[in-house]
Chain A
Amino acid sequence: MAHIIAGVGSSHVPAIGAALDNNKTEEPYWKRVFSGFEKSKEWMARTKPDVAIVVYNDHASAFSVDMIPTFALGCAAEFPPADEGWGPRPVPVIKGHPELAAHIAQSVILDEFDLTIVNKMEVDHGLTVPMNLLFGQPKDEWPCRVIPLAVNVVMFPPPTGHRCYMLGKAIRKAVESYPEALRVVIFGTGGLSHQISGPRAGLINSKWDKDFLDNLSKDPKKLTRIPHVEYMREAGAEGIEMVMWLIMRGALDDKVEEVYRFYTVPASNTAVGHIILENRGKPARRRASAGRSRLAAARRKSQQVRSKGTR
C-alpha cells in the first residue's frame, strides 16, 4: 500500500527560478531566501520519497484562456519545462508516475471530484521552483517521480478552500488504495501574501501569513472556512493561490508534526512561506473495526520507529 508520509508547503516565486538559473544564489538578497531551504533539502534527502504530488498553478504557460480547468491532473510519463518567454528553465524533464496518476484519477472522480486528465503538458515555474527549493539543482534527473496537479487560481473563482481540503482527503484515500508500497510526499505551492496586479500591487500581510501557517499546522479546518474575498483582501489578489496549500493539508493526518518552517519578505513581489508537516501514522479511517484498529496500531508503531530513524 502506498502512503502519504509528509506535506510540503512552498512559495513558487518565478524570480527564485531566475536567481537559480542566473547563478545569483550567493547575492545577499537571494541568500536570505535560499538559506531558508537548506534544512529542507537535507530533510528531503533523508526522506527520499518515491513520488511527489505537486499541487501548483500554471501561469499562462500550458493553459491560456482557451481552456481553464479547475483541477488538472498530469497523467503523462513526462512533463517538459515550459518556455515562459526566456527559453525553458534549465532543469531536468519531470518524470511522471502514470500508473499512480491514473489510479488517483479513477478513485477521486468516483469520489465526485471531476478532475481534468492531462496526458500532454508542459510545466512552468509554479512546479519547477518548489522542486529546486526542495531537491536542489540536479543536472540529469530529479530524484523522484512527480504527479503534477494544476489548479486554476488565475481566473476567479478558484475552487474554495474547503473543496481543496476535501480533494486532499480524496487523494489520500486514492494513494492508500494503491497496491505498491510507495512513499509519497505532497506539495502545496504558491503564495504567501502578494499582489502583483493593479494600483495595490506590492501588498504584503505578514501577520495574516503567520496566522495561516499556524492554522495550517494546528487547525486547518479553520482555514477551510475563509471566504475568497478575505484571501484577496488580506493576502492580495494573487495571494488567493494559498487555497492550494489546503489540498496538501487535506491529504495529511488531522494532527501532524510541524518539523520546519521558514518565512521571509520579500522575494521580488512576494512573501516567501515554507512549511514541512509530517504524518505520524494515524490510520486514515478513524472508525475502523476492532481488528482493523489493532492492525492500524501496529502500523502506527512501526511507522513511528521508521520516522524516528529518518530524523
Chain B
Amino acid sequence: MARRPQDYDDIPGTFVFDAERSRQGYGINMFCMSLMKDENRKAFKANEAEYLKKFQLTDEQRDAILKRNYNRMLELGGNIYFTAKLGATDGHSFQHLAAVMTGSSQDDYLKMMLGGGRSIEGNRSKSGKDKAAKAKAKAKPRSKSTAKRK
C-alpha cells in the first residue's frame, strides 16, 4: 500500500517517524537497538550481512544499512534515536551523522551550529505555501530578551 499523504510531507528535508514508518521500520530500529550490547556490536562488525539476517528487513532496508545511507534509513522507517546507535557503533559522533545527513562536512556543520543553526527562512515548506510563518503564537514584545531575573 502506498504511503498516504500527510500535511507534514510538505516540510523540506524531513522524514517524520510516524506510525506508518514505525510499522515499516520495525526491523531497522530493532537491529539498531541490538547494538546497545557489546557482543552484538562485535558480531555485527565481524560480518555485517550475516548479522542482519537475524532481523526482518527488506532488501532496500538492508542495502541502506550496509551503505550507511542514513537519510534512506529514515525514509524506510528508521528513527534517528535508533540509527544514531549504528553511527556510534562505527565510532562516529552525532555531529558526524548530522553532517552526513545534511550533505556537509563536519566542520561546516559545526560552524553552522555555532552561527545560530540552520535558518528557518527558506526551510519551511516544499510548496512555498507557508512563507509567511504562522506567527499566530506571537506574543506582545518583551522589553528584555535573554537571561535575567525579575
Contacts and interface: CB of A to CB of B under 8 A. Distances in A.
Contacts of B17: 154-156, 197
A36 B137 CA distance: 25
B103 interface: yes
Interface string A25-68: 00000000000100100000000000000000001100011101
A85 interface: yes
Interface in A118-159: 154-157
A97 B142 CA distance: 39
Contacts of B114: 266
A59 B150 CA distance: 35
B18 interface: yes
B146 A263 contact: yes
Interface stretch (B42-50, B51-59, B60-68, B94-102): B94-102
Given A198-B101, A208-B120, A83 B15 contact: no
Nearest to B103: A199
A202 B32 CA distance: 23
Nearest to B116: A265
A193 B94 CA distance: 17
Contacts of A265: 116-117
Interface string A181-194: 00000000000010
Contacts of A193: 117
Given A195-B14, A233-B8, A201 B30 contact: no
Contact of B33 (A64, A204, A205): A64
Given A154-B79, A195-B14, A210-B145, A269 B98 contact: yes
A223 B71 CA distance: 31
Contacts of B118: 195, 200-204
Interface residues of A, number: 61
A99 interface: no
Interface residues of B, number: 63
Interface stretch (A166-174, A252-260, A294-302): A252-260
B18 A199 contact: no
Given A83-B36, A259-B150, A197 B120 contact: no
Contacts of B30: 64-66
B139 A271 contact: no
Contacts of B10: 233
B12 interface: yes
Interface string B105-134: 000010011101111100111000010011
A205 B95 CA distance: 19
A292 interface: no
Given A155-B22, A197-B14, A215 B137 contact: yes
A268 B94 contact: yes
B149 A65 contact: no
Contacts of A195: 14, 118
Contact of A271 (B117, B125, B137): B117
Given A65-B82, A233-B125, A234-B133, 7 more contacts: A64-B33, A201-B101, A203-B120, A204-B120, A228-B8, A238-B80, A266-B117
10 contacts: A60-B29, A65-B25, A65-B29, A85-B36, A198-B15, A200-B14, A206-B116, A222-B136, A237-B11, A262-B147
Interface of B: 7-8, 10-19, 22, 25-26, 29-30, 32-33, 35-36, 71, 74, 79-82, 85, 88, 94-95, 98, 101-103, 109, 112-114, 116-120, 123-125, 130, 133-140, 142, 145-150
